[in-house]
């Protein structure tokens, strides 16, 4: 029997700054969130107190096939038995790079690393090496990682580390053009997420005209178009999230769902940037570990073979329709935004998030793990029955909310 969540928190407070930090710090989510988890299976997770949840966060994105997916675990076990961190990468690095180049039309080559931040940072390095320019255009409020150039908190960073960023407004091509003009010919890259998924805000799908517009802008000013597909990658389209718009980036940053929970990130790029990519010194002790590469290969193959995107879309449609009906029947006006596979729900006139936090706390009590101010993630393991189980919990949570706030 492991320690309770409360006693683990008490012990952590003595040996970890703040007891916990970063995006998994449950203290900043809202009331009622467990901090520590024991295990996951499919689309369920169990916290340190042994409580079971239908998991609508999927480890904040990485879990795309379900926790401990058999095909991935088999590939991991086989590679683990052979070795993980060797004096050079395993053959699996070449196999994975070939698979990604075959799957992603904008990819002619792949560089691997560990985290999404590694990939976004490396993509900008390639763009700067290629152009000899400094400035990067990024959308206001977008999250691209936790290094000093992009962490949302200025603590521990200097203004210099962000001096080369110029912001534009998402889905506003005129503002991107204005940002480019401000840079006076010194733009190395435009970095953009496939849709607007900023925390605390309703999500916003990309306007295809905006996507095509930033592509044309990058071409016109000779900058690289970088898509940060770290969060959305492989959930919207295996080929890349803007492929349905016919918009191909010069560089793409991948991580999260790439290996169903194993630690790996990648930058893919076009032939034109192969030479500049080759000039970088960009590396890490664990970047070439073979186990996560084996996991990534199995993840992409499985997503392709089972049409994982359609499965996630089906689960997402069912969840969205169910939540809409429940909110209406309990008398709440809610907004559901973003792609159905990466959903979010907010309450009208809830600027302080009072309702969102009370509802998500009630969902936890009912065995459903979702989030009051960050988008959720679905996986290919969410069956109709799992979605219905989640909806049972969310319905009870709406009823509790109504008892507390009245309808509205
Ligand atoms: N870009 C985006 C769009 C992300 O959502 C994230 C992680 N939330 C990152 C970059 C950074 O990834 P990581 O946390 O793995 O460094």
Task: State pLDDT tens for residues 346-356.
Answer: 999 999 999 99
Between CA 224 and CA 38 the distance in angstroms is 43
Between CA 162 and CA 149 the distance in angstroms is 5
Ligand 1 centroid distance, CA of 337 (Å):
20
pLDDT of residue 310: 98
CA-118 nearest atom, ligand 1: 16
Closest by alpha carbon to 62, among 261, 240, 232, 205? 261
Q: Find tokens 């699996």 and name the residue.
A: 92
What is the location of CATH 3.40.640.10 in the chain? 70-305
Closest by alpha carbon to 164, among 183, 139, 142? 183
pLDDT in tens, 152-162: 999 999 999 99
Class of domain 5-60+308-405: alpha beta
Name every protein residue with a CB atom under 6 angstroms from any ligand 1 atom: 115-117, 120, 143-146, 193, 228, 230-231, 255
pLDDT of residue 2: 75
Outline where DSSP puts E strands in 211-315. Answer: 224-228, 251-254, 265-269
- Nearest 10 degrees: Cα torsion 121, 122, 127, 128: 70
CA-114 nearest atom, ligand 1: 15
Q: Are 127 and 223 in contact (CB under 8 A)?
A: yes
Tokens of 145: 């990682």
pLDDT of residue 1: 57
Between CA 146 and CA 155 the distance in angstroms is 11
CA-229 nearest atom, ligand 1: 3
> DSSP letters of 335-360?
EEES-TTS-EEEETT-TT-HHHHHHH
Query: Topology of domain 70-305, per CATH?
Result: 3.40.640
CA-116 nearest atom, ligand 1: 12
Ligand 1 centroid distance, CA of 385 (Å):
30
DSSP 3-state percent helix, strand, coil across the chain (nearest 5): 45, 15, 40
pLDDT of residue 406: 85
Q: Are 227 and 267 in contact (CB under 8 A)?
A: no
Closest by alpha carbon to 85, among 263, 290, 294, 284? 290
- Per-10-residue mean pLDDT of the chain, 408 residues long, equals 91 97 95 97 98 98 98 98 98 98 98 98 98 98 97 96 98 98 97 98 98 98 98 98 98 98 98 98 97 99 98 98 98 98 97 97 98 98 98 98 87
Widest distance between CA atoms in the chain: 63
What is the location of CATH 3.90.1150.10 in the chain? 5-60+308-405
Nearest alpha carbon, ligand 1 atom 13: 116
3 state DSSP class of 108 = coil
Nearest alpha carbon, ligand 1 atom 10: 144
Tokens of 100: 């990604």
Closest by alpha carbon to 317, among 343, 297, 354? 343
Between CA 401 and CA 405 the distance in angstroms is 6
């Amino acid at each position: 029997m492991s320690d309770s969540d409360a006693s683990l928190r008490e012990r952590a407070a003595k040996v970890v700054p703040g007891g916990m930090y970063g995006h998994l710090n449950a203290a900043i989510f809202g009331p009622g969130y467990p901090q520590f988890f024991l295990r996951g299976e499919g689309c369920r997770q169990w916290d340190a107190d042994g409580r079971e949840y239908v998991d609508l966060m999927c480890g904040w994105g990485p879990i795309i096939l379900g926790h401990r997916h058999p095909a991935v675990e088999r590939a991991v076990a086989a590679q683990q038995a052979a070795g993980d961190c060797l004096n050079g990468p395993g053959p699996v690095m070449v196999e994975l790079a070939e698979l990604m180049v075959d799957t992603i039309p904008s990819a002619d080559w792949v560089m691997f690393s560990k985290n999404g931040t590694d990939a976004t940072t490396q993509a900008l390095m390639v763009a700067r090496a290629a152009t000899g320019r400094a400035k990067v255009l990024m959308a206001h409020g977008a999250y691209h990682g936790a290094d000093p150039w992009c962490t949302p908190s200025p603590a521990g960073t200097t203004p210099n580390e962000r001096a080369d960023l110029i912001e534009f407004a998402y889905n506003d091509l005129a503002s991107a053009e204005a940002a480019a003009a401000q840079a006076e010919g010194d733009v190395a890259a435009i970095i953009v997420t496939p849709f607007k998924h900023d925390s605390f805000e309703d999500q916003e799908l990309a306007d295809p005209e905006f996507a095509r517009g930033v592509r044309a802008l990058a071409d016109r000013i000779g900058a690289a178009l970088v898509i940060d597909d770290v969060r959305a990658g492989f959930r919207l389209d295996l080929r890349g999230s803007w492929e349905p718009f016919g918009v191909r980036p010069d560089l793409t940053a991948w991580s999260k769902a790439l290996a169903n929970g194993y630690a790996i990130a990648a930058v893919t790029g076009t032939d034109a940037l192969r030479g500049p990519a080759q000039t970088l010194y960009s590396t890490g002790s664990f970047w070439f570990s073979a186990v996560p590469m084996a996991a990534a290969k199995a993840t992409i193959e499985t997503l392709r073979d089972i049409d994982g995107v359609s499965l996630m879309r089906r689960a997402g449609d069912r969840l969205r329709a169910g939540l809409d009906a429940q909110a209406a029947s309990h008398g709440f006006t809610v907004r559901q935004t973003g792609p159905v596979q990466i959903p979010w729900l907010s309450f009208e006139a809830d600027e302080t998030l009072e309702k969102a936090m009370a509802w998500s706390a009630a969902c936890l009590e009912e065995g459903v793990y979702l989030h009051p101010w960050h988008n959720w993630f679905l996986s290919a393991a969410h069956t109709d029955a799992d979605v219905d189980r989640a909806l049972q919990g969310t319905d009870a949570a709406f009823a509790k909310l109504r008892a507390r706030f009245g309808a509205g």
